[in-house]
Amino acid sequence: MSVGKRKGVYASKMKRATHMLFYRRHQKPGVKGWELHKALGADYPKVLDILDDYLKSLDLQVKTVFEEEKAPAAKPSLEELDKARFYITLRGDLTPKEAKMIGWRIDDLAGLAVAIAYVISKKGQAPRKEVEKLLGEKLPNWKVGLNIDRYIRYGYLQQDDKEQLYLDWRTRAEVDEKALIDLLLSSEKQTTLPAEEESEEVEDKDGE
């Protein structure tokens, strides 16, 4: 196959992949790897790499989410990719102004971050009542239940019939879980350090 013909084939496959990823066909957005494999062939990971590079200028990316198991430590095999789900998401972060434009208040985003981090800290499952109690320390009580329902409705959390909360598809697609935990730990450290230092300073004065 000539170089020109090969480029034409990949351009056609990239276009097909874009249609599959952008247009929602199921209740849950995104496309399973096996669907891409069936539509594009066994080289669909390469097609997605080309598409991901093309989307950089738009601040978008192709995100791979391994839903049923932890992400493979090494480069995933084709079989593992077939079980994954692929989404188009932002490459960068929303600014506070952009978040406000799409209907999110800063305190709502902070509540979402706390809720997600708490579920992660509980190994992916937490009673709704515990999350409500935690958010009640950060938000007005009347907003707590409404916000959790909103997080569920938007696909960041899911709830079973026993009122246990889990991470849902949107968190897995959009949130860097490790970066979130590191950020919250860093914020907590900055908040507690001044108090600790003040306590040590008082003790020194008392010692004198």
pLDDT digits (tens, 9 = 90+) for 71-97: 676 788 999 999 999 999 888 777 767
Mean pLDDT of 187-197: 53
Cα gap 113→168, rounded to integer Å:
14
Q: Which strands make up the sheet holding 60-65, listed edge to edge?
A: 31-32, 85-90, 60-65
Cα gap 54→46, rounded to integer Å:
13
Please tell me whether residue 164 adopts helix, strand or coil conformation: strand
* Whether pLDDT at 127 is above 70: yes
CATH fold, domain 97-189, is Arc Repressor Mutant, subunit A (1.10.10)
The residues facing 88 across adjacent strands are: 62
Q: For 12-21, 107-116, 176-185, 197-206, which range has the lowest pLDDT when averaged over its residues?
A: 197-206
- Contact (CB, 8 A) for 40 and 31: no
- Contact (CB, 8 A) for 166 and 119: yes
Would strands 164-167 and 60-65 be described as parallel, antiparallel, or unpaired? unpaired
- At residue 8, the pLDDT reads 84
pTM, full prediction = 0.67
Mean pLDDT of 150-160: 93
The residues facing 63 across adjacent strands are: 87
